[in-house]
A and B are shown apart, each in its own frame.
Chain A
Amino acid sequence: MDSAEVKRQVERVIREIAEHNHMELPELKDQSELVDDLGFASLNVAALIANLEDALGVDPFQAEDVMITDIRTIGDLCAAYGDCLAKQVR
């Protein structure tokens, strides 16, 4: 799976969670911050991680030495999933 597909899945899941919770989202950019810009609270982040595992088949925060607290932006999130998927292929 290439990085464009990872980004597409991440943005799709973010939009679905926001829609479910009736949240207004700003334009999604790599540097958009999950908490401060998107308004994602901890349970939204939990939903995000669960849904991304369902879509991408990995959870980098369980499988790899990555801390969810190190993830601030959409770009950080895409990188964490991209790295985890790349390691699986190898």
Chain B
Amino acid sequence: MEASKKRTVVVSGGSKGLGLGICAKLLTEGYSVATFSRKSSPPLERLLGEAGGKAYWEPVDVTDTLQLSLFLQNVKQRYGLVGYLVNNAGIAADGLLTMVKGQDISRMLRVNLESAIALTQMCLKQMIVGRSGAIVNVSSILGLRGYKGVSAYSATKAALDGFSRSLAKEYGSFGIRVNSVAPGFMDTEMTSDLTDKQKERITRQTPLGRLPAIEDVTSVVKFLLSDEARFVSGQVIVVDGGLTA
């Protein structure tokens, strides 16, 4: 898609952490950014205020497909066809598998996987009409490597990677690209259960000597959505400072 064309991106879960960072990055790149989350946040409110009509947010629970569908109708009215999607919304229900509540695992499967697929299904139709598009699924190194205490979470991320690969094959002929970005352990709310000792150990094991910052990941998301990545599809791009090399 040429840079001169209007670019509308949907980012799920844009109120905090990586999602908020992705929204901010794509705004600076000139995209019209539509995002949603269950609740807003002060930094998101600031971003919306600064964006001057180029950013849009609604309170939406990603697991509610009716709400999602209405949100997308509003986005289309406001910004036109959606050409870009970042499936970022995710939750973690950590712990040894036998110690995690079944209902917490169900909710995580719904948010991390089922809802990402449903949102993709809806946005993809608009990309088919526009005959181009790019999708980035926010995965994790946990989808590629095993770690204790995150087995169900890992399953959702490995599944997303499989989804990216097959979808890339299905819709490539429409000029639609699909990739995953797999960050290492970022210092966000999602990894707040990690102890300082664990973070130190991961930092020691990381060749580049630190945990990934949000900006390390948002720049790769930006690249994968852009024309610079026009021949990259069906791939998982790992952003972990070499931890899993």
Residues of B within 8 A of A50 (CB): 124-126, 128-129
Q: Interface size on A (CB < 8 Å)?
A: 10
Q: Interface size on B (CB < 8 Å)?
A: 9
Asked if B129 and A51 make an inter-chain contact with CB atoms under 8 angstroms apart, the answer reads yes
Residues of A within 8 A of B131 (CB): 20
CA distance A20 to B175 in the complex (A): 13
B-side interface mostly: helix
Contact of B129 among A43, A54, A59 (CB under 8 A): A54
B98-137 CB contacts (< 8 Å) to partner A: 124-126, 128-129, 131
Residues of B within 8 A of A46 (CB): 128
Return the chain A residue nearest B127 by Cβ. A50
CA distance A54 to B123 in the complex (A): 12
A-side interface mostly: helix
Residues of A within 8 A of B81 (CB): 54
Residues of B within 8 A of A49 (CB): 125
Min CB–CB distance B76 → chain A (angstroms): 9
Asked if B125 and A53 make an inter-chain contact with CB atoms under 8 angstroms apart, the answer reads yes
> B173 at interface (Cβ–Cβ under 8 A)?
yes
Interface mask (A19-48 → B, CB under 8 Å = 1, otherwise 0) = 010000000000000000000000100110
A interface residues, Cβ below 8 angstroms from B: 20, 43, 46-47, 49-51, 53-54, 59
Jot down 20 A-B pairs with beta carbons below 8 A, ordered by A.
A20-B131, A43-B173, A43-B174, A46-B128, A47-B128, A47-B174, A49-B125, A50-B124, A50-B125, A50-B126, A50-B128, A50-B129, A51-B128, A51-B129, A53-B125, A54-B81, A54-B125, A54-B126, A54-B129, A59-B125
